[in-house]
Chain A
């Protein structure tokens, strides 16, 4: 009867042995139950300046960049990741924070500044800050970049499968038409969807108020029954699979689609106005390695390093010097560098209204769902 226990253990031992071969520092053997939890329970000593605790979006900082930084400075980077701003805040607000550098989007930066939770940047330590394009210095969430340094910028726009959709699509109203029922994927994100509705009423994203939410309710009530898929994690999947033909999603998703299947997908910034998001590097209060954090920020701002990030993630690079180094094809990708002069706006912190926005979306979704 104990056979299966020995099976399981045998299997585990073999798997671990295999893993240990490919890793320089094998973990403690799992067979002795006491040894394992004991070792890591000891607090990890913070080697002065030798370490940097980075809490950033998953897969957003290339491993190669981190390794090169460590090689040059001797500072080891502990990269912990999250999948949404709110997920990051949830861990940060629980008090688990000994992070030295976090990577919030613009509206979260604004809220963090308001709550006095950020360390002001020492610009003398950031000579490469001059590479950041002038338009990024005057955004309302942090004018003059006192607390935040833009990392990457993107937009939320319309992705069209041009093989299936022949009529021109220029704005939100063109997407949400009855003839496209069951052929649409959109982000599963209440605030995004509400701002799209607002845009069709001529209201900018900073106009989220109780009254405007009521104004936008009938618009969204007509839209949501047409939607087939809500997906914030990988909206490209449904488009690639051919299960839907139109989508409203992050520009990065569009850029990947355009790169993977050239000529099939088009990216359109809605004429009513589109959301421009800026992901930033900021230093939270309580950070223990403030110097190392500055060093890392300045390292990221070097054109050749920034270029590496751009090559891996096809977002818009706020670093003008790095943009110059991009290949002509990448510079021509309309999802990363949209032509013309599109109408773009960032999100603002909406405070307690966030709960109302969420409830509105939940309600409409439940009523439109099957």
Chain B
């Protein structure tokens, strides 16, 4: 068994190198002098300084974070409740509903974008955060639901019944028994939603307004002029802040559990 474990650890190590190699390159090139991001010409901190004056880049990152966080919360609620209910009860036409819920995962982004835009225009909804978030939740919450359903598979519905027998209200049974059980699926669903929303380009193009442009739209726009290293710099700062915050909360939690 020990050799198996060592093999697993080695393989996981290789996969993590694979994951982080491009990130290392990205960080390295955020210190590169050349504007064109292609050959290493020398060390500089200019791109971080440039970031300070690039209000557009900072504002679009803000928009992305707002959209991604709200999308994640809504997707988790819809996906968890939906996944659990469809598992718990025998609805008429539940297969049909499931099929429709999973459709946005396969709809090509451009079709989802155009058709949602036409819908928003028809019902008179102004483009802005609301429209972006609606469109993002539409393709993100199936990911949460798929994860939740996979976790529920094989679970004995009696678990919940036992809680009810012990005098818990249905709400308590859900929050005290099921949610903790589902937590690993909820977390992976939330991570997937956040990641998908943060980096979505095409649907966002159609559903955003001038003031609610997100970072991917801005970055894509800059490709033509050459992706200058300030884009690497802003990604680096974002990752560093995230990682630091994760470690700080972890350290705090471990000190006073």
In the complex they form, whether A and B have CB atoms below 8 Å apart is answered with yes
A-side contacts of B217, CB under 8 Å: 81
In the complex, whether A68 has a CB less than 8 A from a CB of chain B is no
In the complex, whether B118 has a CB less than 8 A from a CB of chain A is yes
**Structural contact, A58 and B220, CB atoms closer than 8 A:** yes
Name the contact of B245 in the complex, choosing from A7, A36, A90, A96 (C-beta under 8 A). A7
In the complex, whether A139 has a CB less than 8 A from a CB of chain B is no
Q: From B13-21, B58-66, B87-95, B99-107, give the one contacting chain A.
A: B58-66
A-B contact sample (9 more), CB < 8 A, given A96-B206, A260-B35: A1-B180, A3-B250, A11-B241, A30-B70, A36-B133, A40-B130, A59-B221, A90-B114, A256-B36
B-side contacts of A10, CB under 8 Å: 245-246, 248-249
Q: Which residue of A lies closest to B213 (CB)?
A: A80
In the complex, whether B147 has a CB less than 8 A from a CB of chain A is no
* Residues from 1 to 48 in A contacting B, C-beta threshold 8 Å: 1-8, 10-16, 18-19, 22-23, 27-28, 30-31, 33, 36-37, 39-41, 43-44
> Which of A16, A28, A37: most chain B Cβ within 10 A?
A37
B-side contacts of A136, CB under 8 Å: none
- Measured CA separation A40–B209 after assembly (Å): 11
* A333: min CB distance to chain B, Å: 16
In the complex, whether B194 has a CB less than 8 A from a CB of chain A is yes
15 interchain pairs, CB-CB under 8 A: A1-B183, A1-B187, A6-B253, A7-B245, A8-B190, A8-B194, A11-B249, A31-B69, A41-B130, A78-B211, A79-B210, A80-B209, A96-B120, A240-B39, A260-B35
Q: Which residue of A lies closest to B249 (CB)?
A: A10
**Structural contact, B62 and A37, CB atoms closer than 8 A:** no
Chain B positions 191 through 234: 1 when the CB is less than 8 Å from some CB of chain A, otherwise 0: 10010000000000110111111000100111111110000000
- Residues of chain A having any CB pair with chain B under 8 Å: 1-8, 10-16, 18-19, 22-23, 27-28, 30-31, 33, 36-37, 39-41, 43-44, 53-55, 58-59, 63, 78-83, 87, 90-91, 94-96, 233-234, 236-237, 240-241, 252, 256, 260, 313
**Structural contact, B223 and A233, CB atoms closer than 8 A:** yes
- Measured CA separation A234–B37 after assembly (Å): 12
B-side contacts of A11, CB under 8 Å: 241-242, 245-246, 249
Name the contact of A94 in the complex, choosing from B121, B126, B213 (C-beta under 8 A). B121
* B35: min CB distance to chain A, Å: 8
**Structural contact, B222 and A12, CB atoms closer than 8 A:** no
**Structural contact, B221 and A58, CB atoms closer than 8 A:** yes
Q: Which residue of A lies closest to B209 (CB)?
A: A80
**Structural contact, B190 and A5, CB atoms closer than 8 A:** yes
Q: Which residue of B lies closest to A59 (CB)?
A: B225
**Structural contact, B245 and A83, CB atoms closer than 8 A:** no
**Structural contact, B58 and A94, CB atoms closer than 8 A:** no
* B125: min CB distance to chain A, Å: 8
Q: Which 6 residue pairs of A and B lie closest in terms of their CB atoms, listed nearest first?
A: A58-B221, A78-B210, A80-B210, A1-B183, A40-B128, A30-B69
Main secondary structure of the interface of B (DSSP, over half): helix
Q: Which residue of B lies closest to A87 (CB)?
A: B205
In the complex, whether B43 has a CB less than 8 A from a CB of chain A is no
In the complex, whether B40 has a CB less than 8 A from a CB of chain A is no
In the complex, whether B170 has a CB less than 8 A from a CB of chain A is no
A-side contacts of B211, CB under 8 Å: 44, 78
**Structural contact, A240 and B221, CB atoms closer than 8 A:** no
**Structural contact, B224 and A2, CB atoms closer than 8 A:** no
* A154: min CB distance to chain B, Å: 12
Q: Which residue of B lies closest to A63 (CB)?
A: B56
Q: Which residue of A lies closest to B37 (CB)?
A: A237
**Structural contact, B226 and A234, CB atoms closer than 8 A:** yes
A-side contacts of B65, CB under 8 Å: 12, 15-16, 19, 30
- Measured CA separation A23–B69 after assembly (Å): 19
**Structural contact, B226 and A95, CB atoms closer than 8 A:** no
Q: Which residue of A lies closest to B122 (CB)?
A: A95
**Structural contact, B241 and A18, CB atoms closer than 8 A:** yes
> Which of A78, A96, A237: most chain B Cβ within 10 A?
A96
In the complex, whether B145 has a CB less than 8 A from a CB of chain A is no
**Structural contact, A95 and B118, CB atoms closer than 8 A:** yes
**Structural contact, B126 and A53, CB atoms closer than 8 A:** no
A-side contacts of B55, CB under 8 Å: 23
In the complex, whether B163 has a CB less than 8 A from a CB of chain A is no
B-side contacts of A236, CB under 8 Å: 36, 226
* A249: min CB distance to chain B, Å: 11
A-side contacts of B213, CB under 8 Å: 80-81
* Residues from 237 to 254 in B contacting A, C-beta threshold 8 Å: 237-238, 241-242, 244-246, 248-250, 253
* A81: min CB distance to chain B, Å: 5
B-side contacts of A233, CB under 8 Å: 223-224
In the complex, whether B73 has a CB less than 8 A from a CB of chain A is yes
**Structural contact, A237 and B245, CB atoms closer than 8 A:** no
**Structural contact, A1 and B222, CB atoms closer than 8 A:** no
In the complex, whether B38 has a CB less than 8 A from a CB of chain A is yes
**Structural contact, B183 and A2, CB atoms closer than 8 A:** yes
In the complex, whether B31 has a CB less than 8 A from a CB of chain A is no
* A234: min CB distance to chain B, Å: 5
Question: Given A1-B184, A23-B62, A30-B66, does the pair A15, B238 have CB atoms closer than 8 Å?
Answer: yes
* B48: min CB distance to chain A, Å: 12
